[in-house]
Chain A
Amino acid sequence: MQSINDYVKKYDRVFVYSPTAQAKLLAKKYGFLDYMVQRYLEIMDNPENFLMSCSYPLKKSIRCNNLKINCNELVNRMNEKGFSLSKIDWLSHGYLVTKLPARPSLGSTLEYMMGYYYIQGIASMIPAYVLNPTARDTVLDMAASPGGKTSQMAGLMENRGVILAVEKKKERIRKLQSNLNRLGVLNTILVRTDVRNIKGTGLSFSKILLDAPCSGEGLIPEDQTRKTKTSIDKLKSFYINQLELIKIAWNLLDDNGTLVYSTCSIAPEENELVVNYALDELNMSVEKVIGFPADPGVTEFMGVELNQDLKFCMRFYPHKQGTEGFFICRLRKN
């Protein structure tokens, strides 16, 4: 097994960009950093559509909390308050908010406070379905706050089984606990620590969700500052942290256990390049996931050929799927 340092060195050239004139032009036109646009030109069929789509906010979406309410009842209640909810075919509990009243706002209805729904991006609802935890599982949620995915997993598990939800930051764990309480989650243990510390407890898990801390490059439609926020050096530090986290996940996973790796970034450096490490160095395998209208993962990038199985990972874009930019991959420990 190659060390993370050696792996980083092997692919270091991925972080050396020389943007083309076209990349510079488009970067100027849409207010992005050059290197970001250079890679969009490499990995997308229609990069300008993507750049344009980033100027518009996404449609609001919510996840019905099946731990507390029947989803049809939620739709009726919200209708009575002037909201229109439209079911997303490929998400069991996902709804687009197609009409909002002047008051109340989506985050201040009684139904929200009662924990009947959670305001959640469409793509960010997918990882929990892909992991598909059941009452038999012991699940580790490696970066749990603010708790959207944790509570969604609890819902899929019908509040049975166990989830160990780890969050490092004090402020974020308070928010996480508040959300889990509001949403009626019973099967979760919250721990405030760096997930690295879970190694050495002797614990292992049948399923792990690693929704890794990332640059948030997929959230540009919601936060325009992200067009210029992440320098290449910062991107590299996210990537190294993600490599460390995926290795920890592998260590903590039962044999034959399932790991879902996801980020709200569309940067291959934070996604395919990280999963590539798990495939080539940790001997994990990618599992093809069906049922979601995703683009395939990237297998070649900046002149570097990656593991071909990365095509089974899933990418989501605002201009194609109408979601936040997102990456999801399901892996098995061999």
Chain B
Amino acid sequence: MSTKKELKILKNNDIKYILNKICSIYRCSCKALLSKEYIEVKGPLFSQICLLNEGERIDRIIAGLQKKNFYPYSVGLPIVKIKGHNNFSPLLPLGQLLVPYCKNIVKVGEKCASKLTYGKAVSVSHIYSFRYGIAISLMDDFIAFVKIKALRNQSEIIPVLDIGLYLREYG
């Protein structure tokens, strides 16, 4: 595999498959997201799909950097990580973007939200009809992508990717 990074401004069709797949997991409508601009930053181990504004201007700067064989470390807001064919996962910044468009929503109070941000599972006395959801606060803020495990008369909410990562990894 090449150790060089490559960049590709993505058209709607390129991103449609991946976003639709993610949206179907959380029962979201992806229409609003599909009209935005994206770039794919391909690295040696994985690629990232990044949301951006002003694709043309960014393209000009990237072309300048490539003249000297520089590739950006990152461009715009990374929202999806691609590890291989059909192997991709959402990144934290996608969470808040999805919240208004999704049905698999798990609303949690402050205490539960705090626990989730420590990467810890919480049990609640509520039965959910789905396995994968998006945990949000009472103020509709994205907290985590979660997995739901059904227990007797209650559910365990297991964080898969939570905003506490920002603190745990980088302080």
Hey, which bits of chain A sit against chain B, CB under 8 A? 77, 104, 107-108, 110, 112-115, 138, 159-162, 164, 173-175, 177-182, 184-193, 197, 200-203
Contact = CB atoms under 8 A, between A and B. Distances in A.
Interface in B46-65: 51-54, 57-58, 61-62, 64-65
Contacts of B92: 181-182
A113 B163 contact: yes
A108 B167 contact: yes
A191 B7 CA distance: 13
B52 A192 contact: no
Chain B residues touching A, range: 35 or more
Nearest to A116: B141
Contact of A159 (B53, B65, B117): B53
Q: Is the interface of A mostly helix, strand, loop or mixed?
A: mixed
Interface of B: 51-54, 57-58, 61-62, 64-65, 67-68, 70, 72-78, 91-93, 96, 110, 113-114, 117, 137, 139, 141-143, 163-164, 166-167, 169-171
Contact of A189 (B67, B72, B137, B164): B72
Contact of A186 (B76, B113, B171): B76
Given A162-B57, A193-B70, A187 B76 contact: yes
Contacts, number: 104
Given A114-B141, A184-B93, A190-B73, A178 B54 contact: no
Given A110-B113, A178-B166, A197-B68, A189 B62 contact: yes
B124 to A, nearest CB: 18
Given A107-B167, A110-B143, A181 B77 contact: yes
B50 to A, nearest CB: 9
Given A114-B142, A203-B64, A188 B163 contact: no
Contacts of A173: 73
A107 B110 CA distance: 16
A179 B61 CA distance: 22
